[in-house]
Structure 1
Amino acid sequence: MENKLYYLDPYIKEFQTKVLRCEEDSNGTYVVLQETAFYPTGGGQPNDTGSLNGYVVTNVEDVDGEVRHYINETIVEGEDVTGKINWERRFDHMQQHTGQHILSAAFVELFQFQTLSFHLGTETSTIDIDTSEVTEDELRKAEERANEIILENRSIETKWIRESEVNEYPLRKAPTVRDNIRLVIIPDYDYNACGGTHPTSTGEVVALKIFQWERQNKKVRIHFVCGSRVLQHLHEKNKVLMEISQLLSTPPEKAGEAVHRLLATNKELEKELQNNQRILMDVEGDALLRKSIEWNGQKLVFEEFKDRSMKELQKFAKLVVEKDGQGVVVLVSENGEQLQLVCGRGNGADINMKELIGELLPLINGRGGGTPAFAQGGGEALISSKELVEHAKKFIVK
């Protein structure tokens, strides 16, 4: 591990070394260095970025113990290079990863919830814990315990051990490797096998905040942030709160109450609107019946619309046949390049609506279906809505 400088000192920001090889694989051009401070993707922690002699390092991967630095240029083998780490990204990852150790240990200490997986994202990080349910009180207590450990500024130690030495340490979970086992230790709190980069004290994590949780495959996924991300998220959420406060003309601390009042008012307005729509449709239904044609003891209603939805057509049709059990209704709406139609009949009528729509849909290259009492469908406006209605009249009379 001597050539992996990020293990010797995770605070190295710049280093000098030589190029051993410059080759290509399926991911692109990569450089292998005599030693490196670039951390490769692994253990839930993303890779470092930075530069080699000014060339941007886009990705870093560990392939069979060999650290490959992917760049968009070619560097001559044996050339001296200066590597520079994107320190802001590295230290952020150190904060998030160490915060994960502390939070995972808190869940084990307080509730015996083991961490099953960890993901360090660009906005938030997540852990999946081995439980199907978690309470807000449990989340609060775990968060408080984690922040206690952070504020105590406990030392963080790293140590390499052999497989035969594993039982000498109270590890939170069994290591996944058999050789070169690296322990990250917060004495008297957490002992964990880990290959990631970490600061030398918990205080550098600064703070930890849990934002939300969700169920994932009968487990619980917890979203959290640490360090400078806490301030960033606080800034963003405060900005949103202030915008809401201004829009509602209310102090930030009363914004929640104002939103509840607004939602309650909106709900009442929606009920009133729905009621008015029912009244309007009832009036339109009466108007349609007044335009009906008497034929063979039945009232035939035909109407053409513009830009009416299928749902509206269905409501109109049902309204008409409910008002007159002898009624037969055919409604067509022209919606741009499409035609939609609904056909219905009352209990006292005997015209088969399924057969009727079966005659009409081929005229518009349409699809649909239904029952002998009620059918609907739609297709292309190959003919006008008026022509489609005329075909319906001819079929019914025939």
Structure 2
Amino acid sequence: METKLFYENAYKREFTAKIVTQQQDEKKRWYVVLDKTAFYPTGGSQPHDIGTLAEVNVVDVENVEGEIRHYLKSPIVDHQEVIQGVLDWDRRFDHMQQHAGQHILSAAFAEMFGFETISFHLGKEVLTIDLNTSNISEEELKAAEALANQVILENHKIETLWISKDDLNLYPLRKQPSVTENIRLVVIPDFDYNACGGTHPNSSAEVRAVKIINWERHKKKVRIHFICGNRVLTQFNEKTKILFELTDLLNVPEQKMTTAVKRLLQKEKELEQAFEKLKEEQLTSEAKQLLHSNDTIVSRVYYERPIKELQKLAQMITTISEQTCVVFVAQNEKRLQVIGAKGPASEAKCKQVILESLKAINGKGGGSEELVQGGGDVRMSAEHFLEEIVSKI
């Protein structure tokens, strides 16, 4: 463990080390192994550190069979015997805050309601924990969040201990560790005892705050979405800015924002319904215009017109005139599409002809005798394609 400087001092931002090996892995990614490192590798649901080694960007850090590999943007050339490593401190401290905040919130749920945390994910924007319960109330969420923030405010020490398997019964662990050797405990005395290999601040106060954002049911459990530390302030600022912009746009105070938005959504729904009604009337009128008293087939070419709209138009025509067969060809971008429909009194072999004709444009199609459609490449003009189909019908 003496080579893992992040366990000696999680606040170490710079260090010097010797390169043990530099090579490419099976994916041709360059990496170096050092005689010691402050870079934390991905593990225990905590993402890896980034930074530089000899001024070359470290883009990933992994523990591969006990070997900590520092993956580089490019190989280190002309390096000295001892090189310097520099961590991206903002990222490291963010991970420390989030991970410690997760411990505190998980302990709060366990202490107050007996809800065990069964999984944890530290994302770029939000954290999640899955609780071993199928339901949760708003009151329970508020109570656990309040206890977590009280522990943060009380500025408890966060300590780490290395113990053996035989010493596990000396501590009231929230759950048993997944390893049997080199067991590392992260402890908030009299509040939380947890086996963990991640990096954490020295005190709960450095977590600053915990804020639950949302929750959902996931695989019959409860998933909590939350943020900690500087993320709370950052996201608060972002959301406040958006809120102020919305109050200006809607010209209402934030207390009436919900009512104003509901009113807008209702108005939008009414406008959409009115638009659909007008569109339906327009298609009905168009269908009647395309029909003539003795027509048994109606055919047209269209450019850049939605195929679903043409389907509806074709069905309207065959509803109005049951003896009519309809063939529409549309050229949309670099594709020819065809719609065929016929009324119950029509004897036209619409489906058979269209499916056979599609072969000429390397196309495919399908459907029923009443409505068939397909499409293919633009190997001829839309007018020529329509003429071929109509002549065969």
Q: Deviations over 1:350-390 (max 9, x none)?
A: 22322232343234333212223332222233333333343
Of the structure 1 ranges 279-288 and 111-120, higher mean CA displacement relative to structure 2 is found in: 111-120
Q: Which structure 2 segments of 5+ residues have no match?
A: none
Spell out, residue by residue over 1:198-253, the C-alpha distance to the aligned partner (whole angstroms, 9 max, x if none). 22221110001122334444443322211111111111112222222222233333
Describe how 1:89-100 pairs up with structure 2 within 5 A: 89-100=91-102
Take 2:323 and 2:60, find their aligned partners in 1: how far apart are those partners? 74
Q: How does 1:6-25 map to 2 (within 5 A)?
A: 6-15=6-15, 18-19=17-18, 21-25=20-24
Aligned to 1:378: 375
Corresponding residue for 1:37?
A: 38
Distance 2:195 2:289 in 1: 78
Amino acid at match of 1:73: I
Q: Hey, what's the Cα distance between the residues in 2 that align with 1:360 and 1:64?
A: 61
Correspondence for 1:47:
48
Q: Which residue of 2 aligns with 1:268?
A: 270
1:277 partner SS: helix
Equivalent pair of 1:32/1:66 in contact (CA under 8 Å): no
Larger Rg: 1
Structure 1: 5+ residue runs without aligned partners?
A: none
Moved over 6 A (4+): none
In structure 2, do the counterparts of structure 1 residues 318 and 4 end up closer, same or farther at CA, with 3 Å as the change threshold? Answer: closer
CA contact (8 A) 1:22 1:76 kept: no
1:178, distance to aligned residue in structure 2 (A): 1.0
Partners of 2:55 and 2:382 in 1: CA distance: 68
Match of 1:313 in 2: 310
Q: Are 1:293 and 1:300, in contact at CA under 8 Å, matched by a contact in 2?
A: no
Alignment CA distance shift 1:319-1:57 (3 Å)? closer
User: 1:127, 1:221 within 8 Å by CA — same for their partners in 2?
Assistant: yes
Letter of the 2:5 partner, please give it: L
1:165 maps onto 2:159 in alignment: no
TM-score (norm 1): 0.87
Corresponding residue of 2:227: 225
Return the alpha-carbon distance in structure 1 between the equivalents of residues 83 and 357 of structure 2. Answer: 77
C-alpha distance in structure 2 between counterparts of 1:264 and 1:338, whole Å: 38
State the alpha-carbon separation in 1 of the partners of residues 329 and 89 from structure 2.
66
Q: Does 1:147 align with 2:146?
A: no
| Number of the residue aligned with 1:243 | 245
Contact 2:19 2:32 in 1 (8 A): no
- 1:208 paired with 2:207, answer no
Shift of 1:190: 0.9
Per-residue Cα deviation, 1:151-205 (whole angstroms, up to 9, x for no partner): 1222222222111110111100001111121111112211101122222221110
Distance 2:53 2:100 in 1: 27
User: Which stretch of structure 1 is more off in the superposition, 171-180 or 128-137?
Assistant: 128-137
TM superposition shift of 1:36:
3.9
Q: Classify 1:180/1:140 alpha carbon distance in 2 versus 1 (closer, same or farther; 3 Å).
A: same
1:387 to 384, 389, 392: 384
Q: 2:345 aligns with which of 344, 348, 354?
A: 348
CA drift of 1:20 comes to: 6.4
Q: How does 1:19-168 map to 2 (within 5 A)?
A: 19=18, 21-26=20-25, 27-33=29-35, 35-52=36-53, 54-71=55-72, 72-74=75-77, 79-168=81-170
CA contact (8 A) 1:29 1:74 kept: no
1:305 counterpart SS class: strand
Q: Partners of 1:50 and 1:383 in 2: how far apart?
A: 58
Sort the Cα spacing of 1:367 and 1:30 in 2 relative to 1 into closer, same or farther, 3 A. Answer: same
Segment of structure 1 superposing worse, 367-376 or 272-281: 367-376
Could you say what secondary structure the match of 1:11 adopts? coil
CA contact (8 A) 2:355 2:364 kept: no
Task: Give the CA RMSD over aligned residues.
Answer: 2.6
CA offset at residue 280 of structure 1? 0.8
Q: Distance in 2 between matches of 1:20 and 1:346?
A: 80
Equivalent residue number for residue 4 of structure 1? 4
Residue 338 of structure 1 is matched in structure 2 by 335
1:75–1:161 distance in 2 versus 1, CA, 3 Å: farther
Alpha-carbon offset, residue 97 of structure 1:
0.7
**1:273 to partner: Cα distance:** 0.4
Indicate if the aligned counterparts of 1:29 and 1:73 stay in contact, CA closer than 8 A.
Answer: no
TM-score, length-scaled by structure 2 = 0.88
- 2-side partners of 1:46 and 1:114: how far apart? 23
More displaced, 233-242 or 91-100?
A: 233-242
Relative to structure 1, the CA distance from residue 321 to residue 38 in structure 2 (aligned partners, 3 Å threshold; closer, same or farther) is: closer
Amino acid at match of 1:365: N
CA distance in 1, matches of 2:86, 2:382: 70
Q: Which residue of 2 aligns with 1:254?
A: 256
Matches of 2:368 and 2:108, distance apart in 1: 62
Conserved? CA contact 1:352–1:373, under 8 Å: no
- Deviation digits for residues 128-170 of structure 1 (CA, Å, limit 9, x no counterpart): 3333444444333322221121112222222221111101111
- CA distance in 2 between partners of 1:368 and 1:376 (Å): 6
2:15 & 2:353 partners in 1: Cα distance? 82
Q: Greater CA deviation, 280-289 or 43-52?
A: 43-52
